[in-house]
Structure 1
Amino acid sequence: MRAAGKKFHFVGICGTAMGAVAAALRDRGFTVTGSDESVYPPMSTFLESKGIALHSGYRPENIPEDAEVIVIGNAMKRGNPEVEAILNRKLYYVSLPEVLKELFLRHRHNLVVTGTHGKTTTTSLLAWILIVAKLDPSYMIGGIPANLGKGALFNDSKFFVIEGDEYDTAFFDKRSKFVHYLPELVIVNNIEFDHADIFSDLEHVKTSFRHVLRIVPQNGMVLLNGDDPNCVEVAKESSAPIVEIGFSENCAQRISGATYGSNGSCFSLGDETFEVPLIGEFNVRNAAMAVSAARF
């Protein structure tokens, strides 16, 4: 990605992630414009408050003549008037995950939460643990946790907690988004067949998870659901240390003593006991993953 680019145009700017990154770039002094099919509050007012010029609808003339980097959203497809103009004019374009990688994640300790289910909850829990520990992490979550009040925060902390989606990156890059996130630690909550619009079968899904685990460095770590055979299988090719977490005896970090009530759950992990205001075994697993990642 061009390091010198200071003028960005976002195609599909009003998506939650696109808008958050566009605002973060504006806060860093970049010039940012954008367009979307539907421009309306609260995203439109949020972006306009940052000094970002917005266009409703997609038209070639929305793209500034001096735009240096075009960020094309995941939902954009061939036939979109701006996409076609970008290709015809041979403009420099990238995906949102590429922007995150080069301008926000490089040189950070990136904690990437993946899995078919539980990503948003586990990412939220991990971010909150680090905030309470006064580590002041950046984070990007696929939802808005009640206690955080927003789904993304970009600061200069060395820690970045990010929800790692296995969905594809863009129409021009069919790899999963999470392969761009420079993971130092990866959580794999579970792996099941999902997203039948882009994955042909379970094996196809597992291949994407293998890709991200192959790029975890040797001084990093992979935290797996040790009770899920699919998770254990995909980690075999990883060169990073692996810790299995779960209820079964084979898990290095074994969850025990779990109890569930109407107001939350309680469980032990190693010699420590934890209480969470979340109900059920699934959320105990999410919390155990977040605790283990925070210890890394």
Structure 2
Amino acid sequence: MSKKFHFIAIGGAVMHNLALSMVSQGFEVSGSDDEIYEPSRTRLFNAGILPNQKGWFEEKIHPELDGIILGMHARIDNPELTKAKALGIPVYSFPEFIYNQSQEKKRVVISGSHGKTSITSMILHVLKAEGVAFDYLVGAQIAGFDLMVKLSDAPIIIIEGDEYLTSPLDRRPKFFHYQHDILLMSGIAWDHFNVFPTFENYVEQFEKLVAMTPENGVFIYCERDPIVKKLGENCPADSVKLIPYQAHPSKIIDGVTYLETNLGTIPIEIFGDHNLQNLQGALEVCQSLGLSAEVFYKHIQTFQGAAKRQEILAKSATSILYRDFAHAPSKLQATVKAVKNQFPERKLIAIQELHTYSSLNKDFVHNYAHTIDDADEAIIYLNPKAVSLKKLELMDESTLREGFQRNDIKLFTEIQKLKDYLESKSYQNTNLLLMSSGNYDDMDLSSIKEKINQN
């Protein structure tokens, strides 16, 4: 008989993907949520598990359930959660459930403030292309994979290890639950200002994660990051295999990046020093799983990146429109620098939508100092509604200029005015870079794309 699980807050990005994965594995799945957006709504509907009504319903919780999977979006006083606890039904956060289903597998956890999704995606791309059996959890939709989660009887699982809180019942980082055999750490730069109030408190979570590496485990770490390098150097080398890495050697020819390897130069579709670090980390993980460097180089050539990571929306001989997920200071700086270095002769217009709690907080904005310096023109977009929902104060242009340490920053707070401004520009010999963890209020980019495509 198939096991029955109920999802509290089924509409979340990872939560609905886990639900769909479980349906495909033969589990019986139900769920609730107070709001479900696209694409979650359509995907749950097509799988036959979209809740009939929005909201929480105690009657959905019954003794026949084998478990509850609790999303971070749910409140601690959620009526379904309260009833599940009263009935003694096991309650799992999604990281706890992932571990529960992967205890017999080799667990690879990709951690760090930046690059997690890209590194995980590279590893998944190479393993799939080589025909290796594996399970995974990744934080974005990536080309060639229908879901962000897969659970099966495969012997290994690749997990993007997020440091954000586990659930309303568990205020620890998610990555503590996975009990890694192989750990990669890309870099540490203060994020989640609302959860980790000091940088020291934030770093402490990563220190604890490294300390969880088992005897005979593997710790792969980017030594270009001084904090991560120190964690690696303090790790006991007699019990843990330590593999430091830096950016993979490369060169740029006519706007194309080539890896320099002992097999010769190999063209790749991604670029930027941060991505070359990510690529080297992915290579070290694949080799730790038994793949050769030759196999990795063969398949990485066709890797096009995770969704919204240097994603090309329009392109001509003299201009490109990029969309990127960059939002934290380190991500923003790395992305702007990468695009400018790849096309140094082109003008770069960089636009940052400040969308997260940290980025919208005037007490945090100084962390963005000089992160957008490499752009020829720098624009900030703030949505007053998003600021209001987070109960924060709307920053003005002078505050942003001081925070970013750039006196020519332009601020837009109305999406139509930003759209009009961008449509008025010439994009001859110009790249346009849109960066955000949001969506610019679904700004219609069609006319901008058309202008760029016709250059």
Give me the TM-score of the superposition, normalised by structure 1: 0.86
Instruction: Tell me the CA shift for residue 63 of structure 1.
Output: 2.3
Distance 1:165 1:262 in 2: 36
Instruction: Between the two structures, name the one with larger relative contact order (CA 8 Å, sep ≥ 6).
Output: 1
Question: Is there any run of 5+ residues in structure 1 with no aligned partner, and where?
Answer: 248-254
Residue type of the alignment partner of 2:4: K
2:94 to 93, 96, 101: 96
Question: Does the residue aligned with 1:182 lie in a helix, a strand or coil?
Answer: coil
Partner residue, 1:267: 259
Distance 1:242 1:260 in 2: 30
Instruction: Tell me the CA shift for residue 36 of structure 1.
Output: 0.9
**2:135–2:151 contact (8 Å) kept in structure 1:** yes
- Which string of whole-angstrom CA distances, capped at 9 and with x for unpartnered residues, describes residues 141-194 of structure 1? 111123435423333321211111011111211221111112111110001111
Distance 1:66 1:153 in 2: 25
Equivalent runs, 1:32-71 vs 2, <5 Å: 32-39=29-36, 41-52=38-49, 54=51, 55-71=53-69
Structure-2 change in CA distance of 1:198 and 1:181 (3 Å) = same
Distance 1:230 1:117 in 2: 14
**1:263–1:279 contact (8 Å) kept in structure 2:** no
Question: Is there any run of 5+ residues in structure 2 with no aligned partner, and where?
Answer: 289-455
Structure-2 change in CA distance of 1:264 and 1:57 (3 Å) = farther
1:80 to 78, 81, 89: 78
**1:243 counterpart = 2:248:** no
Identity over the aligned pairs, expressed in percent? 26
Runs of 4+ aligned residues of structure 1 deviating over 6 Å after TM superposition are: 269-272
Residue type of the alignment partner of 1:240: V
Distance 1:269 1:217 in 2: 32
Instruction: Tell me the CA shift for residue 121 of structure 1.
Output: 0.7
1:202 to 199, 202, 206: 199
2:13 to 2, 16, 37: 16
Structure-2 change in CA distance of 1:231 and 1:112 (3 Å) = same
2:151 to 141, 144, 154: 154
**2:17–2:147 contact (8 Å) kept in structure 1:** no
Residue type of the alignment partner of 2:105: R
Residue type of the alignment partner of 1:242: L
Residue type of the alignment partner of 1:10: F
Instruction: Tell me the CA shift for residue 68 of structure 1.
Output: 3.1
Question: Does the residue aligned with 1:166 lie in a helix, a strand or coil?
Answer: coil
**1:107 counterpart = 2:99:** no
Distance 2:228 2:23 in 1: 39
Question: Does the residue aligned with 2:140 lie in a helix, a strand or coil?
Answer: coil
Number of residue-to-residue matches in the alignment = 284
Residue type of the alignment partner of 1:201: T
**2:2–2:26 contact (8 Å) kept in structure 1:** no
**2:251–2:260 contact (8 Å) kept in structure 1:** no
1:276 to 257, 268, 272: 268
Give me the TM-score of the superposition, normalised by structure 2: 0.57
Bigger radius of gyration: 2
**2:25–2:152 contact (8 Å) kept in structure 1:** no
**2:22–2:151 contact (8 Å) kept in structure 1:** no
Question: Higher mean Cα deviation, 42-51 or 114-123?
Answer: 42-51
Distance 2:195 2:133 in 1: 36
What is the aligned-residue RMSD (CA, Å)?
A: 2.5
Compare the two structures and name the one with the higher strand fraction.
1
- Which string of whole-angstrom CA distances, capped at 9 and with x for unpartnered residues, describes residues 212-259 of structure 1? 222222222111011111102233245421111015xxxxxxx43x22
Distance 2:187 2:35 in 1: 35
